[in-house]
Amino acid sequence: MLGLNRKDSGLFLLVICLTALAPFLLNPFPEGSELAQFNAGYPDLMQRFMIFGIFAIGFNILFGLTGYLSFGHAAFLGVGSYAGVWMMKLLTVNVVPAIIMSVIVAGLFSLIVGFISLRRSGIYFSILTLAFAQMSFALAYSVLTPITNGETGLQLSLNDPRILGISQTVDGSIPAANFFGIEMRDSLELAMGGWLFTFNAGYYLAAIVMLISFYIAIRIFRSPFGMMLRAVKSNQQRMSYTGLNTRPYALTAFVISGMYAGLAGGLMVAMDPLAGAERMYWTASGEVVLMTILGGAGTLLGPIIGASAIKYFENIFSKINDTVLHGWFSFMPDGLQDFVVAIIHPFIGKGWHLTLGLMFMLVVIFLPGGLMEGINRLRIWFGKRINGRQQTPDHAPATSS
């Protein structure tokens, strides 16, 4: 299918099915139940799953294949966001030109950063990329205020000199971002029993872009170019001894990875036309590193799983408070209830990072290959159990005395 082998085709079909059915799969609990707190099937969070999945897929092309660890990839996410907002301010609120411009600008910026940073390797490369990201953050926050609007952030206004389309609607509001007339905030709700499922236009646009990005990543992984990148990761010095210049391959991977980050930034703007300097901060770069390692660096599906896991914890666990906990454990005596709530309290709400940190530690210690390693172990274990049952006869053969 689409030039993929049988295994990759099956994986791609699985991802298509999961993204299409996400509004159902991410709402397993009825709306009125206490467990509805753990539902993740609302548009904003589902969009984040897709957008940060793209961000992590692109980072994995660099880190997972070449072994170059960048601590500055958030710079390309931020640059892409700014380019997208400016395109919507100056040209049209149709999100397609904004997304395209985000990818182009982020690609050009990553070419400059990569050309300089790739003169070094190892920790020196990582520090250089971090320095570029922090310089970009500082410039966006202060020096380039006329372009970035500083700490307030760049957003659409009623006075935008938009070439195509209107600057304000009939009721005097800012026109909404749209995809050829389909507004990104348009949603269709389906009530089934106690469940409420939301189908959002913005989510499905982000999902389609993510699927295209995932398909391109598969082709890169299986191509001769991908094999060269793995060789760079395996033993770059030995390749240099053969007379092969590895820098163009690493630079190409760096630019592709930066374009993925710009694409994620453009989609952020498409869903919410706002760009701020905080998207370039070093913590944003560290987040994509965690996503990739948590899911499984060097795997195809791992970065998406890692990105979804972190965004789930960020948006679900951070909203649980003591009031919710007291509701859950209301069946307990007051003293025991307070004790249980006090034990769980540091791991939820503002302390959700502690839960994430513990999970990351457990994964690194017991599953060095990330969550994908755990999934593969379970798959192999179930395969052995099924094969064992198939090979065991229903009745033991009779034995002669």
Neighbours of 8 (CB within 10 A): 18
Q: What is the pLDDT of residue 396?
A: 47
3-state helix, strand, coil in the chain (%, to 5): 70, 5, 25
Q: What CATH number should be reported for the domain holding residue 211? A: 1.10.3470
Neighbours of 41 (CB within 10 A): 21
Q: What's 183-237 look like in SS3? A: ECCCEEEEEECCEEEEEEHHHHHHHHHHHHHHHHHHHHHHCHHHHHHHHHHHHHH
In which band, very low, low, confident or very high, does the pLDDT at 257 lie, cut at 50, 70 and 90?
very high
pLDDT at 252 over 60: yes
Look up the pTM and report it: 0.91
Q: 332 lies in a domain?
A: no
Q: What is the pLDDT of residue 173?
A: 87
What is the rounded CA–CA span in Å between residue 74 and residue 111? 15
How many structural domains comprise the chain?
1
Q: At CA 57, angle to CA 52 and CA 63, rounded to 5? A: 120
Ramachandran angles phi, psi of 157, nearest 5°? -140, 170
List, for residues 135-145, the tens digit of each pLDDT value.
999 999 988 99
List, for residues 212-227, the tens digit of each pLDDT value.
999 999 999 999 999 9
What is the rounded CA–CA span in Å between residue 316 and residue 256? 32
**Residue 147 carries which DSSP code?**
H
Q: 293 lies in a domain?
A: no
pLDDT at 401 over 50: no
If you average pLDDT over residues 259-267, what whole number do you get? 96
Q: 126 lies in a domain?
A: yes
pLDDT at 393 over 80: no
Q: 366 lies in a domain?
A: no
Are 177 and 3 in contact by the 8 Å Cβ rule? The answer is no
Q: 14 lies in a domain?
A: yes
What is the rounded CA–CA span in Å between residue 310 and residue 327? 25
List, for residues 117-154, the tens digit of each pLDDT value.
999 988 999 999 999 999 999 999 988 999 999 888 99
Lowest mean pLDDT among 197-211, 273-287, 318-332: 318-332
Q: 362 lies in a domain?
A: no
Domain limits for position 226: 6-281
If you average pLDDT over residues 66-78, what whole number do you get? 94
Q: What is the pLDDT of residue 237?
A: 79
In which band, very low, low, confident or very high, does the pLDDT at 62 lie, cut at 50, 70 and 90?
very high
List, for residues 10-41, the tens digit of each pLDDT value.
999 999 999 999 999 999 988 878 788 888 88
Helix, coil or strand: residue 300 = coil
In which band, very low, low, confident or very high, does the pLDDT at 254 lie, cut at 50, 70 and 90?
very high
Angstrom CA distances, 355 to 219, 264, 346, 371, stand at 35, 26, 9, 16
- Give me the percent of the chain exceeding a pLDDT of 90: 56
Mean pLDDT score across all residues of the chain: 89
Helix, coil or strand: residue 155 = strand
In which band, very low, low, confident or very high, does the pLDDT at 46 lie, cut at 50, 70 and 90?
very high
Q: 261 lies in a domain?
A: yes
List, for residues 188-204, the tens digit of each pLDDT value.
999 888 888 999 999 99
Give 374's contacts (C-beta < 8 A, 6+ positions apart). Answer: 363, 367
In which band, very low, low, confident or very high, does the pLDDT at 313 lie, cut at 50, 70 and 90?
confident
Q: 144 lies in a domain?
A: yes
